[in-house]
Amino acid sequence: DADVTQTPRNRITKTGKRIMLECSQTKGHDRMYWYRQDPGLGLRLIYYSFDVKDINKGEISDGYSVSRQAQAKFSLSLESAIPNQTALYFCATSQAGGEAFFGQGTRLTVV
Amino acid sequence: GENVEQHPSTLSVQEGDSAVIKCTYSDSASNYFPWYKQELGKRPQLIIDIRSNVGEKKDQRIAVTLNKTAKHFSLHITETQPEDSAVYFCAAVRNEKLTFGTGTRLTIIP
């Protein structure tokens, strides 16, 4: 089945470390998104990309960067992790005007 | 940017009763309004959506209504069942950017 896959699924890292979360999809979608989920705050958009070489900031991009290496791959990096970046991170994909499909999520803990 | 408010944050209903979740949005240019269900430990999944040229849409026990003038939309679940227990998110979409509400935790009491 075509799917959206995130790696790793769980990660514990130390404050100040650089970490990369990866997302790949076999749906053939051109739109890809990174969201962060915190209790009581819903899903907040970090970055999004409508095509390779297209990168756009979302509402909470500070402290994060992304790379769209190919149509199927969209990576999220935390350059210097801090404890308040502890959260559940979701990658999502969509086609123009269509439904968004989410990955399984990456639970990140910064200690 | 778009702002989506969702109420209530928690909702408990007796099995078989109806549940209603309401959202308001701020950007009149938003034109697509999906609803996602997230079961414990799982990813959000689309359950129903509505576009701005439609006032109501129904799919079995689930319906969504949209009032563009008032900029609010609602999810209605009838004849609730235990498997309806989950967190529900509304979203408003403009230029393919999804802005989500803060979620409603729905608990169905057997």
The predicted-structure confidence for B6-58, as pLDDT tens digits, reads as follows 999 999 999 999 999 999 999 999 999 999 999 999 999 999 999 988 899 99
Among chain B residues, the shortest Cα distance to A37 is held by: B102
Confidence of residue A44 (pLDDT cuts 50, 70, 90): very high
Q: Which of B1, B34, B101 sits opposite A42 (nearest CB)?
A: B101
Residues of chain A neighbouring B49 (CB-CB closer than 8 A): 99
Mean pLDDT of chain A: 95
| DSSP assignment string, chain A | ---EEEE-SEEEE-TT--EEEEEEESS--SEEEEEEEETTTEEEEEEEEEETTEEEE-TT-TTEEEEEEETTEEEEEESS--GGG-EEEEEEEE-TTS--EE---EEEEE-
pLDDT band at A32 (very low <50, low <70, confident <90, very high): very high
Inspect the interface and report whether the beta carbons of B96 and A31 lie closer than 8 Å.
yes
pLDDT band per the 50, 70, 90 thresholds, residue A2: low
Q: How far B9 CA sits from the closest chain A CA (Å)?
A: 8
CB B29 within 8 A of CB B94: yes
Instruction: Pick the closest to residue B88 from B2, B30, B10 (CA basis).
Output: B10
Residue A53 has pLDDT above 90, yes or no: no
Do the chains contact at B43 and A96, CB–CB below 8 Å?
Answer: no
- pLDDT at position B1 is 83
Whether A36 has its CB under 8 Å from any CB of chain B: the answer is no
Query: What CA–CA distance (Å, rounded) separates B67 from B69?
Result: 6
Coil, strand, or helix at residue B82? Answer: helix
A65 in Cβ contact with A57 (< 8 Å): no
CB contact under 8 A, A48 and B100: no
Answer whether B102 sits within 8 Å of A40, measured CB to CB.
Answer: yes
* pLDDT at B99 > cutoff 80: yes
Give the residue from A43, A48, A55 with the most B CB atoms within 10 Å of its CB, the best one to mutate.
A43
Q: How would you label B72-85 residue by residue, b for 16+ Cβ within 10 Å and e otherwise?
A: bbbbbbeebeeebb
Residue A60 has pLDDT above 70, yes or no: yes
Does the distance separating the beta carbons of A45 and B97 come in below 8 Å?
yes
Residues 6+ positions from A67 with CB-CB distance below 8 Å: A74, A75, A77
Q: How many CB atoms lie within 10 A of CB A26?
A: 12
The mean pLDDT of chain B is: 95
